Amino acid sequence: MTPTSARHWLIWDGACDLCAWSIAWVRKHDRYAAFQAVPFQSLPPELQAQVDPDSFSRGAHVITADGRVLRAGRAALFILEQLGYRWVARILSLPPFVWLVELGYAIVARNRRRLSRWLRLGETHCPR
Tens digits of per-residue pLDDT, 53-93? Answer: 888 878 999 999 999 999 999 999 999 999 999 999 999 99
Distance between CA atoms of residues 13 and 55, nearest Å: 11
SS3 37: strand
Q: How confident is the model at residue 32 (pLDDT cuts 50, 70, 90)?
A: very high
Distance between CA atoms of residues 4 and 89, nearest Å: 20
Name all domains of the chain by residue range, CATH numbers in brackets.
Answer: 8-118 (3.40.30)
Assess contact for 10 and 37: CB atoms under 8 A: yes
Distance between CA atoms of residues 47 and 114, nearest Å: 29
Q: How confident is the model at residue 5 (pLDDT cuts 50, 70, 90)?
A: low
